[in-house]
Structure 1
Amino acid sequence: MPVDHRRAVRYYRRAADAGHIEAACNLGASYHRGTGVRKDEHKAFFYIRFAAENGDELAYCGLAESYYFGEGTRKNYRKAFEWFRRSYLQSRRAKAADWLGALYAEGKGVRRDLRKAFLWRKKAVASGDEPALFSLALMYIHGEGTEKKPDEARKLLERFLEHNPDDCDARYWLGMISPAAEALPHFDFVYRREHDPWSAWQIVRLELKVQRWFTPERFMELEKMLHRAVQGKVPGANRLLRSRLWKLRRETAISSKELAARFRKTRNWRYCYALHCRGGRVEFEIGKQYLFSDDRDDIYVGARILGQLMNLRCERPFPQETIVLVKKRMTGLSENDSDIRAEVLRAAAWQHIPEGQEYLMRFADDPAPEIRHVVAWGIYGENRRETEILLKLARVPDLDVCDWGLYNLIEGDCGTWPEFLDGLMELTKHSEAVMRHQAIAALVFRRVPQAERLIYQALQEPQAEEFQYLADAAGYLGLTELQAEIRRKYMAETCM
């Protein structure tokens, strides 16, 4: 049988005029919605009030909402509160509990009490009211009537979005309390739907936090969002648009090929770092092309690009391929061109994989100090062979090589056999204070008994700028008072 709202209204009216309470409630709802009859808020209020005053529990909330919004009558928050309260007390309606929470939160019709607002909304959620999930989540977010509990708010918002996946307000607030990677899709959804300036601002802010460099296409999108935030008068948006940071991002939001060309021309590291952060196959091929050029500047640029190529959102993508390229390029370089050879070799050291470490150690006896410096810098003493090479490099006359060799011996995990410890003891008599102190620190980290005595002996030396290694060593031994004394002396003498 087809639905006929006009006929239903006719029968509702006859029954209501005869005093039928439920029919009066239905007739009031029909006037309120305008179904089967012309919409008329005054008549809707008349019939709903008649039903409510004669005990129809379904009409209680309808009458309360009429008083709250002033539909068919004057606004009267006090009466709205009373009818919502009666609705909950007599029929335990979840909707009424949520409304009572709203009235307590707003202080309308009753004295403002956030604690009671929180408790009423909690009752509404327990009774199964979906809108109350969102309002209770906001109270947890802002700490209204309760402690701030973002985890609880997040659970409530996720439950709410299961039933209302397109609700932009819920998505916005879920984004506000979520980690950056999870928040971005929520803000993006709201911005695409409503072109909301606040969501646009959050996207720009989070993108700057997560990703420091952008492709030209992505930067154009972000700049458009930032302009939308400025138009919406979002605090901080106009300041960011005019800032040096944003100008820098605009300057580097160019193609990877152009970034490499600018790095070659200016040697400005921000261009190279932008390539590193993109870290894709395109950037790898650009580095490869530069590496196999005949021009010395091109080779330097290629080695730098390949050496530190990475992607901040995933693992380093091309380490094995880079090692193969480095080996191939090193065979084609003259032994007299030691600075360029060192830069290419450094690209292998940056990969931090066993193949790269093995290749580095082949150059430990290279006569060029630049090459030995890269070897001392690039291996970490993680096995006996690496430790022996570092100890050997720590004994060379070149202070840069010696410094890195000792530094990595301190950091390395391997090396407690007698010959190695004797070598470190020998280095504690080095002519340079920084070398002596690093050797002492390496002995301390290997729990050599004489190390504590060596710390006290070194403290008699006048070189204040080198005391930091001794302070770290004392802290490692648990000598906290001595560590504090060393640091006080270090600060006092360096400030003189």
Structure 2
Amino acid sequence: MDEETPTDKPAEKEKKKKPPPVMESAKVEAAATLGHQRSQLNLGLRLEGGRGVPKDDAKAAEWYAKSAEQGDHLAQYNLALMYNAGRGVSKDPAKAAELLMHNMLPSAQFCLAGMYRRGVDGTLEPDDSRAVELYRNAAEQGHVRALCNLGFLYQNGKGAPKDEAGAADCYAKAAAQGHVKAKSNLGFMYLHGLGVDREEGKAADLFEQAAAEGDRRSMFFLGLMHDFGRGKNQNYPKAIEYYEKAEELGHERAKEFKADLTRKDDLETAMQECPPEPPEKIEEAKADLLEWKEKHEEKNPFL
């Protein structure tokens, strides 16, 4: 599972007259050297981001570690991300998990939940029930990705009893906050009537919102809806357009369905180009097109 860069890092305070960045960083470093916990964190942030000082992940990790030792949760979280990715330190997911274990930041709980989903060799056994607990805690603190992932676990009965209505509720709340994957997942629920009444038009609206933000899965579903006339009027050119967009983003099934519709266009063109004679050629082209329609209908996911 991909982890996001945290958004809960402390913001820089605006000042009417800011000293030059290097001078400001020098003051921060002086305070950090004297053991000031927040300055150690801030210096780590500056070194990691290359703000006012040359970017240096290894030194950033050192200062995060000093602040983390004094109990700073954000420093612990940032250091855990570095250990998990092997950035500035040797890759050590077990150390990352240790740093996150008692961290109450929602981003930390979200990250730890992902570790419980996968498991960490020698440290954590896969435990979906623990992941549910952590995602729920993070979601209650406003972490929108945790809310979406919680919905996924409810939908699939992982770590908690299967609860499609609860999943749809999680997706709806996350979608209302603009979460793209939640919009796509909620669209899927409406498309198939899972935990909500089946509303193909509403599903199409949600897929269109997510597709407009680059979600390839939503593009694929819009292709299917135009292809087979579900929630949209049947429109093969529009279906091909959505399949192409999804394919460009690496969706393999979209590639397959686009090729199928392209084959249909080729067959229709061949039939139109057949001369009046011999008539068996026209019949052969008609038979090929009929065979295509039968095989394509077998792929209809809405049956």
Q: State whether TM-score is above 0.5.
A: yes
Do the aligned partners of residues 132 and 12 (structure 1) sit closer, same or farther apart at CA in structure 2, a change above 3 Å counting? same
Mapped partners of 1:156, 1:243: distance in 2: 41
Tell me which residue corresponds to 2:35.
19
Please give the secondary structure, in 2, of the residue aligned with 1:234: helix
Distance in 2 separating the partners of 1:171 and 1:191: 9
CA contact under 8 A between 2:47 and 2:60: conserved in structure 1?
yes
Map residues 166-181 of structure 1 onto 2, 5 A cutoff: 167-178=179-190, 179-181=199-201
Match of 2:172 in 1: 158
Residue 93 of structure 1: aligned partner: 105
CA distance in 2, matches of 1:228, 1:59: 41
Secondary structure in 2 matching 1:172: helix
User: Could you tell me which residue of structure 1 aligns to residue 204 of structure 2?
Assistant: 184
Q: Tell me the CA shift for residue 20 of structure 1.
A: 1.9
Please identify the structure whose Cα radius of gyration is greater: 1
Number of equivalences: 239
Cα distance change on mapping 1:10 and 1:177 into 2, 3 Å: same
Residue 203 (structure 1) aligned with residue 215 (structure 2): no
8 Å CA contact 2:225, 2:239 repeated in 1: no
CA distance in structure 2 between the partners assigned to 1:195 and 1:127 by the alignment: 26
Question: In the alignment, is the contact (CA less than 8 A) between 1:138 and 1:153 conserved in 2?
Answer: yes
Equivalent position of 1:127 in the other structure: 141
Equivalence map 1:453-492=2 (5 Å): none
> Paired residue for 1:107, among 94, 112, 119?
119
Cα deviation, 1:245-300, whole Å, max 9, x if unaligned, reads 9989xx9xxxxxxxxxxxxxxxxxxxxxxxxxxxxxxxxxxxxxxxxxxxxxxxxx
Structure 1 residues 111-133: Cα deviation after superposition (integer angstroms, max 9, x where no partner): 11112111221122233333311
The letter for the 2-side match of 1:189 is Q
Q: Structure 1 residues 119, 8: CA separation in 2 closer, same or farther (over 3 Å shift)?
A: same
User: Unpaired segments of 5 or more residues in structure 1?
Assistant: 252-496
Partner of residue 163, structure 2: 149
* Structure 2 residue ranges without an equivalent (≥5): 1-15, 191-198, 272-303
Cα 1:70–1:176 change in 2 (3 A) is: same
SS in 1 for 2:101: helix
Please point out which of 3, 20, 24 is paired with 1:8.
24
Structure scoring higher RCO (CA < 8 A, sep ≥ 6) equals: 2
Q: How far apart, CA to CA, are the structure 1 residues paired with 2:189 and 2:108?
A: 28
1:138 is aligned to: 152
Distance, in Å, in 2 between the alignment partners of 1:183 and 1:122 is 26
Q: Work out the CA distance in 1 between the residues paired with 2:44 and 2:90.
A: 17
Distance 1:246 1:151 in 2: 44
Amino acid at match of 1:156: C
Q: Please state how far the C-alpha of 1:29 moved relative to its aligned partner.
A: 1.3
Measured in 1, the distance between the counterparts of 2:232 and 2:39 equals 65
Deviation, structure 1 residue 103: 0.8
- Aligned residue identity for 2:218: S
Given that 2:240 and 2:258 are in contact with CA atoms closer than 8 Å, whether structure 1 keeps it comes out as no
Q: CA deviation at 1:137?
A: 1.6
Is 1:117 equivalent to 2:131 in the alignment? yes
Instruction: Assess if the C-alpha contact under 8 Å between 1:174 and 1:186 holds in 2.
Output: yes
Deviations 1:292-312 (A, max 9, x none): xxxxxxxxxxxxxxxxxxxxx
1:39 aligns with 2:55: yes
Q: What SS class does the counterpart of residue 73 from structure 1 fall into?
A: coil
Match of 1:54 among 54, 57, 70: 70
Runs in 1 of length 4+ with deviation above 4 angstroms? 211-214, 227-231, 242-248
Whole-Å Cα distance in 1 between the matches of residues 176 and 208 of structure 2? 18
* Change over 3 Å in CA distance of 1:170–1:212 after alignment to 2: closer
- Post-superposition Cα deviations, 1:183-212, rounded to whole Å, max 9, x if no partner, equal 11222233333273x323211222324368
Alignment-mate amino acid for residue 152 of structure 2: L
Cα deviation, residue 38, structure 1: 2.1
State how far apart, in whole Å, the 1-side matches of 2:232 and 2:109 are: 47
Letter in 1 for 2:162: K
Aligned counterparts of 2:150 and 2:231: Cα–Cα separation in 1 = 33
User: Does the CA-based 8 Å contact 1:67-1:77 persist in structure 2?
Assistant: yes
Q: Deviations over 1:211-256 (max 9, x none)?
A: 6855xxx5432232234456642166157526879989xx9xxxxx
Relative to structure 1, the CA distance from residue 213 to residue 23 in structure 2 (aligned partners, 3 Å threshold; closer, same or farther) is closer
CA RMSD of aligned residues (A): 3.0
> Are the counterparts in 2 of residues 226 and 241 from structure 1 also a CA contact under 8 Å?
no
For 1:470, the equivalent position in structure 2 comes to none
229, 238, 243: which one pairs with 1:221? Answer: 238
- Where 1:194 maps in the other structure, the secondary structure is coil
Q: Measure how far apart 1:43 and its partner are.
A: 0.9
Is the 1:201–1:237 Cα contact (8 Å) retained in structure 2?
Answer: no
Q: How far apart in 2 are the matches of 1:2 and 1:233?
A: 54
Q: Deviations over 1:409-461 (max 9, x none)?
A: xxxxxxxxxxxxxxxxxxxxxxxxxxxxxxxxxxxxxxxxxxxxxxxxxxxxx
The answer as to 2:213 corresponding to 1:193 is yes
Query: Is the contact made by 1:171 and 1:190 (CA closer than 8 Å) also made in structure 2?
Result: yes
